[in-house]
Amino acid sequence: MKIRLAQLNPVIGDIQSNTVRILQEIEKARNEQVGLLILPELAVCGYPPMDLLNVPSFRETIYRANETIIEQSPGISLIFGSITPHEGLGRPCYNSAIVASNRSLVGIQHKTLLPNYDVFDDMRYFEPAVSSVPIELHGIKWGISVCEDIWLNENDYMQYKQNPLDELVKKGADIFVNISASPFTRSKIESRFQMLQRRVKTYQRPLLYVNQVGAQTELIFDGDSLAINGSAELIGRSPRFKVDALDVSFTLVEGESELNFVSSRLQDAGKESLQPEEKIVFEALVLGIRDYVLKSGLSPKVVIGLSGGIDSAVVATLAVEALGKDSVVGITMPSEFSSEGSVSDSRALAQNLDISCHQIPIHEMVQSFDHAFKDYYKDTPFGLAEENIQSRIRGSILMSWSNKFNAVVLNTGNKSEYAVGYCTLYGDMNGALAVLSDLYKTEVYALAEWLNSSHYRREVIPNSILKKAPSAELRPDQKDSDSLPEYGVLDQLLKGYLEEGLEYEELVQRGFEKGMVKRILKLVDLNEFKRYQSAPGLKLSKIAFGMGRRRPLVQQWMRYRESMS
């Protein structure tokens, strides 16, 4: 029997279209003599559906879709992810793997381990399974699990007492199947593969793993579906960030419990794993932009404020890759403090990308604000208020352009700036999507260098942008380094605090200067209110600003920490 692992890209809430795609996949698989088609977790509604699951009509629509999928699958067997109803006390539904064959329901395995950490809220919505039992199909006992069930106790956030894989093996499972919606992070591709190999080695059962692909607001799913034989050898792997299918065949060796796989399309897994990190980040961000715009039903047009700096240059380049040059517009908005390069470099970038670029000077607008405030601001020094007026004027121009021409504003702030508050609410933080909010400044530079040297193999992002000192250009001769540590130092400190969970003493022990640590940590904590109001950002790291990082805006832990240090 030929088995197909199909990594799909569902649209959350678009039950009808998702169902049509599944039925098309079924028809294609049947025509190509596939005996068993395996689809990802919650393939019918998309993951994560969040509070849509609290809407009874939403759940009922999915239940009807489940019946349609089963009814319209003659001559083939299926394992697909969806919700199923839970009767009685508790949550109203399960997160389930449904097994069907030749238009009949064979069995259902519910998700047992419900993650409740980082971006996951499964315990909020789903009732957990009480047991895990293999489901027999074509003479094979399939040990089916759903996403977290196979990640058992692999992280520090949450430890589980129940072990679904133990139960499946004790009850005679011949082979493991895991259907997943496992979000991408830069470190997860290799760690996830190693975890799956450990499961195979521990239980001596081969494994079929299929993962969702596509982006859902902040989360990006990489696919990377794979098959591992009973000797823990990788024998098939789907490409990342693409809708794709991996075909595998098996034979049950008489007298042995192991299933032997022969991949019909073996990916060069070693080559895949050796890709530079910048390429992986590039693919993830391009997918994130494309799916955010297209899945939202928004106009496939975006507008970006081009400052002549590295961040807006990288965002514009990614947007062209995601949506095409005709869908991207740049606007440069010079003030009296803008360097000559802020305009000329922006125009050079636009020419290299072949996108429209418009110039809207803001000097007179700033003067109008200054005039309106002159009686109130007199005898006070030029400061943050005056600087932010420039940024907020630019933000208003971008939002006005968005309203007039039905274009999505892409935010260009990076993680370093977001962390320490070097960004302006209702100004440069405006936008529908914060593309770079999970990339530190040094990582933005690394991505830009890779784009020029490896992806395009020519100077698309002008070298003058790469070489200039970072600056907001909101006062004369301003540079970021006037008030911040060099980004190479700052980013390492921030990574330790935000992603590794290190506190003051531990950061000092790493060699960071005490005063700098205290000041930067204070800036991070004080600017939580800005991030709370920010556009959603694309998650790339273990800990990103957004839905997975929840800090109180009003708190005094910061003051206590300072007193202890």
- CA dihedral (397, 403, 405, 407) in degrees, to 10, reads 90
Which of these is catalytic: 45, 93, 111, 473? Answer: 111
The Cα 433–Cα 287 span in angstroms is: 13
CB 380 within 8 A of CB 280: no
Question: Exposure pattern of 412-440 as b/e (b: 16+ CB <10 Å)?
Answer: bbbbbbbbbbbbbbebbbbbbbbbbbbbb
Question: Over 25-68, what HEC string results?
Answer: HHHHHHHCCEEEEECCCCCCCCCCCHHHHHCHHHHHHHHHHHHH
Q: Which two tokens stand for residue 289?
A: 């932009």
What is the torsional sign of CA 100, 103, 104, 105? positive
- Exactly one of 25, 41, 167, 321 is catalytic; name it: 41
549: nearest Cα among 521, 528, 518: 528
Strands 408-411 and 302-305: parallel
Query: Burial code of 56-94, b = ≥16 C-beta within 10 A, e = fewer?
Result: eebbebbeebbebbbeebeebbbbbbbbbebeeeebbbb
* Cα–Cα distance measured from residue 279 to residue 454, given in angstroms and rounded to the nearest whole number: 9
Cα angle 335-317-546, degrees, rounded to a multiple of 5: 85
On whether the CB atoms of residues 494 and 512 are closer than 8 A, the answer is: no
Structure tokens at 483: 């008030």
User: Is 295 a residue of the active site?
Assistant: no
User: Rounded to whole angstroms, how far apart are CA atoms 212 and 46?
Assistant: 9
Please confirm, yes or no, whether 147 is among the known catalytic residues: yes
- Phi then psi for 366, rounded to 5 degrees? -65, -40
Q: Identify the active-site residue in 45, 93, 147, 423.
A: 147
Distance CA 56, CA 23 (A): 24
Active site residue 111: yes
User: What residues are labeled active site?
Assistant: 41, 111, 147
